[in-house]
Structure 1
Amino acid sequence: MTLTPVIGFAGYSDSGKTTLIAKLVHCFQLQGLRTGVIKHDGHGHYKEVAGTDSSKYKEAGAGVTVVLSPDGYTSFVRKPLTLERMITELQMHELDIVLVEGFKQGMHDQIALYRSSEQSGILSVLPKPPIAVVAPSQFHDSVIGSIPFFEPDDVDLIAEFIARHVREKG
């Protein structure tokens, strides 16, 4: 079985990761690509809408909560997993690509995002150089070497870059 390609998006809070990933998911969907997304919630802040039945089950301590609907399902499993294990779990869904938000220290290919000089520090904390940078045009000169640079609204170009990168990597 061929492993699904994984592309990460690393940046500090409010750098545009979620917005860009949502636009890329839509773009890939229009191209007929089945796209999965894994979001890092390192602080455990994510909560379901308070008062829903499923949130009550989770709060009560259920080990697994699954909500089935005509369109699919949502599940919560009270078991920590590594990013690598979650990617392996997603293989059964026959996805064309997995986009990962966060997990700055992961060894998967990553695109760095930033909107300010302070946020550009993301480049120095990644374990390996990013495959591309997404930032406003005034930061173009801050990117070292031949790392491709995109502006945040260049969604189609970023999608093309990702598709080409995945194809070349094989």
Structure 2
Amino acid sequence: MNVFGFAGWSGSGKTTLVERLIPEFTARGLRVSVIKHAHHGFDLDKPGKDSWRHREAGATQVLMLSNDRWVLMHELRGAPEPTLEEQLHLLEPCDLVLIEGYKAAAVPKIEIHRPSHGKPPLWPENPHVVAVASDAELDCPLPRLPLNEPAVIAGFILDYLDAQ
């Protein structure tokens, strides 16, 4: 599986860009999966629902399924967070895995940088950033991609992966 990441400060537009890139890749016949790393807790379940009650009762895993989808929820219960490599092994084979977050992971990534947010760029300190997507002109030695043109960014990613 090809793996490509996106890094940037909170609110920079990582999720929006990934959301806009997925149709670009699927239109080219690629099967795409996404790993999103959250620095804060999250819950897909709702208090009071059967699956929530099972987890609250102490189940380590709860698998829910219907004729439309299935989801496996796994409670860490104090165990360490799985590594990115371990998470990649959980995915079914696909053509491309997009990683949102994991700034320090050793995968090629595009930094989403908006100078108007007042945050410093990540690329000077992160050797895994191979390009910067922005909505402004930047003084940067890396390729700069137009943040609002997902087709251009998708082309860059596929060209980059083909060259590796």
Please report the TM-score for the alignment, with normalisation by the length of structure 2.
0.87
**Percent identity of the aligned residues?**
33
Q: Does 1:7 align with 2:4?
A: yes
Match for residue 71 of structure 1 among 60, 68, 72: 68
Aligned residue for 1:109? Answer: 108
Q: Does 1:50 align with 2:15?
A: no
Paired residues of 2:34 and 2:97 also in contact (CA < 8 A): yes
DSSP-derived class of the 1:131 partner: strand
Alignment of 1:4-153 (within 5 A): 4-44=1-41, 46-51=42-47, 52-79=49-76, 80-90=81-91, 93-116=92-115, 118-126=118-126, 128-137=127-136, 140-143=137-140, 145=141, 147-153=142-148
Please report the TM-score for the alignment, with normalisation by the length of structure 1.
0.84
Q: Distance in 2 between matches of 1:125 and 1:53?
A: 46
- CA shift digits 1:114-136 (9 cap, x unpaired): 2235334322442x141110111
CA 1:68/1:148 → structure 2, altered by over 3 Å: closer, same or farther?
same
Aligned-residue offset at 1:56 = 3.1
Instruction: List gaps (5 residues or longer) in structure 2.
Output: none
Aligned residue for 2:151? Answer: 156
DSSP-derived class of the 2:54 partner: helix
Backbone CA RMSD of aligned residues: 1.7
